[in-house]
Amino acid sequence: MVFKFVSHFPSDLDKFIFPDSCDIKVRIPYLGKIRFFWCDSCHVPLIRKKCGSCEKVGRKISLTPPGDIRPALEGDRDLILSVINSQFGKISAQKFRRLIQNQIIFLNKVPYVDRMDEIIIQGEVVGVFRYNILKGAFELLPRVSLATDLWSTRSDRCVVVDIGARDAIKKGASVLSPGIISADLNISINDPVIVICENEVIAVGLAKMNGDQMGPPRRGVAVKTKYSKKSSIQPLKPSKMGWDRIIEANRQSMNSLEQEAIQFIQRKAEQYEKHVVAYSGGKDSLVTLDLVVQSNISFEIIFLDTGLEYPETLKNIQLIEQEYQKRVFIHKNESWDFWERFDQFGPPSRNSRWCCKSAKLFPANEILDYLFPNDKKVLSYIGRRRYESLGRSREPRISQNPWIPKQVTAAPINNWSAFEIFLYIHKHNLNQFLNPLYNNGFIRIGCWVCPASSLSDFEIMKKTHFSLIRKLTFKLSNIQEKHGLSNQYLSWGLWRWKYLPKKISNLLRSEGFSNTSYNPVVNQDKLKFRITNSPSLCVHGGYSTLLSANQMLDLSKIKDLLPIHGSVQFNEELDVISISGNKSKVINIFRDGSIIINHNKKEELIKQISSIIRTIYRKTYCDGCGICTYQCNKKALIIESGAIKVLENRCSHCLACNDFCSLLKYQSDSPFLIVS
């Protein structure tokens, strides 16, 4: 496992990441070696230094880590073209279309608050393409080489400067207003602009004035230079490139990579009797599935339908069944409604993905129990890759998910890059089985409402899946209006964080917004408890404390889970539940919300406060997801009539099931306990 950090981006990206007013450094993860080279003889990319066609050593390309390079598919290319057209005009878009004709261009995903990619053409990084959350739009900042190819005398967003300013600007100086001869009147502050002198592109930068303000007698910086022409630049002259040539140049390298993955699959399969492929509908799981097929082991295919899948993904499942002549066992979520939970908990966030536990983990337990009822362990091959994120880079190739006791996961493509994934797909003619969402411009495939999605994904959805995004927008708008939140709650996607990361908070503050540390609690009337009497000596011996809830308690409901604390007696006439665990512990719970706890030891009494209110909270809002039932070694928990219940004769009162409740996990930071 290899990962480390640098404190900021390379100088050519520095301060394009955020507006100049926002002084932020972004930590870049090195998740492994960047395996991307360029053969200047064959004009193809390589995953190893040596070209398999001409046997020459390829040129290493300077890329921003982590270097998970992918080819620009149809949707990516169309998106870039449309942005060039809107920024620099129709003529520039036509020139770019001719430039990439019969070409495969590549994108390198760069760490950023949203989507940002370096564009690679013929082994050269020619620009940066990103979704600007401040503007709510995609934009392109070309380097001088690409700007030279895009520019014409009729291009938009251009600034013409006096020859006297040329040398200073070429050395990296900003464009000062007095030196400007003319400027496009449609330029707005922070727009990418091309700087021209004597019909020559000499720089590219970001506007610091509107176009109608540039030029004398106005003083100050008009354009902040990002890239400058420090030496002569030859126009890009791409050679015709197709996947056949790329595959041939990388065949030997890919064969070694594939063979290692297949041997890994076969080696691990020998250690377990039962095997599955967890298919998701994405490119990585497609390659994983095909590698497992090549390994000639016995296996089943499973797919977890969360109810939030794209229609294209569900169609892709059918296509996979037809191609591989093998049934895909689908677990369709029908036990709970996502939108009901949305109203209860608020939107899922990157800090609190309450949806994953119920929509994925419990169904995974169920489907594995259905397929392999008598097996204690099942080996599950998954399409996880270390280059996707820092979190995934930390996960070992073989791992055990504590939420799914029966499943052992194995990641055959753990060390593969996205480019290697696409190489495999083209080499083995799997293009027709690739989820069409990738060709729409999406980078990741999963639940369409996932908070891990970038704003660019939701922007694309406005064109591809408007009915879905409309429903989410309606729900979020209601929260925004109810709590008087700023427009950035929606437009910047602040709902995707329960607690905003520092880089987002700083960005908000730089734009003049305050109160940026957290998102509101959606349901302010949720069950809460207050310690009305702190633990103190009791006249009957030991210590006692008094809690009070902010609402009446449904004793007939909560009694079914309270046996995890001890022996339970429910007196309906007195509206009280009494729990006795041993001689040192007694708990009385009243319908009016009062709770009295007695214990011989003060430190144990404090622990009881936390555990009893968590149990009451858990049972009050339990929707019967069933995750905890798979964690109980005594099999003391069951789902009955859609809710959790304890089999008292089996329970050992270990309270471990509270730790596996997704409700408690994602409410652990919520204020349902208030200390007076």
Q: Do domains 68-228 and 529-675 have the same CATH topology?
A: no
Single out the residue of 318, 316, 333 nearest to residue 367, CA to CA.
Answer: 333
Contact criterion met (CB below 8 Å) for 666 and 356: no
Q: Between 489 and 515, whose confidence is greater? A: 489
* Section 252-272 average pLDDT: 97
Beta-carbon contacts of 317 under 8 Å, excluding residues fewer than 6 positions away, are 279, 281, 303, 328, 330
Look at strands 300-305 and 328-332 and give their pairing. parallel
Would the pLDDT of 350 be above 70? yes
CA of 100: how far to CAs of 90, 106, 193, in Å? 16, 11, 22
Would the pLDDT of 277 be above 60? yes
Would the pLDDT of 429 be above 90? yes
Weakest mean pLDDT among 75-79, 309-313, 536-540? 536-540
Give the CATH number of domain 243-440.
Answer: 3.40.50.620
Residue 75 φ/ψ, nearest 5 degrees: -65, -40
Distance of alpha carbon 619 from alpha carbon 563, whole angstroms: 12
Pseudo-torsion of CA 286, 281, 403, 557, nearest 10°? -160
Q: How confident is the model at residue 276 (pLDDT cuts 50, 70, 90)?
A: very high
pLDDT in the model for residue 273: 94
CA of 270: how far to CAs of 263, 273, 295, 298, 407, in Å? 11, 7, 12, 11, 16
Q: Between 490 and 663, whose confidence is greater? A: 490
pLDDT in the model for residue 5: 36
Single out the residue of 40, 47, 44 nearest to residue 67, CA to CA.
Answer: 47
Contact criterion met (CB below 8 Å) for 491 and 132: no
Pseudo-torsion of CA 9, 444, 289, 359, nearest 10°? 120
Mean pLDDT of the chain: 86
Q: Between 87 and 485, whose confidence is greater? A: 87
Would the pLDDT of 156 be above 70? yes
Distance of alpha carbon 208 from alpha carbon 224, whole angstroms: 7
Distance of alpha carbon 614 from alpha carbon 624, whole angstroms: 16
Please report, for the chain, how many H helices and E strands are present, in that order.
20, 31
CB burial of residue 68 (10 Å; 0-12, 13-18, 19+): buried
CA of 510: how far to CAs of 12, 22, 42, 75, 404, in Å? 22, 6, 48, 33, 43
Give the CATH number of domain 68-228.
Answer: 3.10.400.20
Q: How confident is the model at residue 419 (pLDDT cuts 50, 70, 90)?
A: very high
Distance of alpha carbon 204 from alpha carbon 169, whole angstroms: 10
Q: Could you give the angle at the alpha carbon of 471 between the alpha carbons of 465 and 474, nearest 5°?
A: 135
- Distance separating the N- and C-terminal Cα atoms of the chain: 48
Angle between helices 466-483 and 338-345 (to 10 degrees): 20
129-151 core/surface letters (b: 16 or more CB in 10 A; e: else): bbbbbbeeebbbbbbbbbbbbbb
Q: Which helix (H) or strand (E) holds 269?
A: helix 243-269
Q: Between 512 and 437, whose confidence is greater? A: 437
Q: Which helix (H) or strand (E) holds 328?
A: strand 328-332
pLDDT in the model for residue 665: 67
What residues form DSSP beta bridges with 487? none
Contact criterion met (CB below 8 Å) for 543 and 537: yes
Alpha helices in 43-133 (DSSP H): 74-88, 90-99
Give the CATH number of domain 529-675.
Answer: 3.30.310.10
Residue-wise pLDDT for 442-463, tens only, equals 998 889 999 999 999 999 999 9
pLDDT in the model for residue 209: 97
CA of 604: how far to CAs of 358, 538, 565, in Å? 32, 15, 13
Distance of alpha carbon 76 from alpha carbon 142, whole angstroms: 16
Q: How confident is the model at residue 1 (pLDDT cuts 50, 70, 90)?
A: very low
Distance of alpha carbon 464 from alpha carbon 671, whole angstroms: 39
Q: Which helix (H) or strand (E) holds 119?
A: strand 116-121
CA of 19: how far to CAs of 65, 108, 189, 223, in Å? 21, 21, 11, 13
Return the residue matching tokens 């892709």.
Answer: 316
| Domain parsing of the chain, residue ranges | 68-228, 243-440, 465-510, 529-675
pLDDT in the model for residue 216: 93
Q: Between 334 and 291, whose confidence is greater? A: 291
Percent of the chain with pLDDT over 90: 54
CA of 96: how far to CAs of 72, 92, 150, 309, in Å? 14, 6, 6, 35
Contact criterion met (CB below 8 Å) for 516 and 508: yes
Distance of alpha carbon 290 from alpha carbon 413, whole angstroms: 11
Best-predicted range by mean pLDDT among 34-38, 341-345, 427-431, 608-612?
A: 427-431
Dihedral sign for Cα 599, 604, 606, 611, please.
Answer: negative
Count CB-CB contacts under 10 A for residue 655. 15
pLDDT in the model for residue 51: 95
Q: How confident is the model at residue 666 (pLDDT cuts 50, 70, 90)?
A: low
Q: How confident is the model at residue 87 (pLDDT cuts 50, 70, 90)?
A: very high
* Section 259-272 average pLDDT: 97
Single out the residue of 186, 179, 169 nearest to residue 217, CA to CA.
Answer: 179
Residue 671 φ/ψ, nearest 5 degrees: -85, 60
Residue-wise pLDDT for 501-554, tens only, equals 777 888 888 877 765 555 665 555 678 888 877 777 765 668 888 888 888 888
pLDDT in the model for residue 32: 67
Look at strands 328-332 and 398-400 and give their pairing. unpaired
Residue 240 φ/ψ, nearest 5 degrees: -60, 130
* Section 63-80 average pLDDT: 94
DSSP 282-296: SHHHHHHHHHHHHHT
Q: How many CA atoms within 13 Å lie on the side-chain side of 548?
A: 6
DSSP 604-657: HHHHHHHHHHHHHHHHHT-----GGGGT-TT--EEEETTEEEE-TTT-----HH
SS3 278: strand
Would the pLDDT of 395 be above 60? yes
Contact criterion met (CB below 8 Å) for 281 and 303: yes
Would the pLDDT of 634 be above 80? yes
Distance of alpha carbon 142 from alpha carbon 126, whole angstroms: 6
Q: Which helix (H) or strand (E) holds 664?
A: helix 662-665
What residues form DSSP beta bridges with 555? none
pLDDT in the model for residue 181: 97
Contact criterion met (CB below 8 Å) for 241 and 44: yes
Single out the residue of 448, 523, 528 nearest to residue 479, CA to CA.
Answer: 523
Distance of alpha carbon 597 from alpha carbon 545, whole angstroms: 5
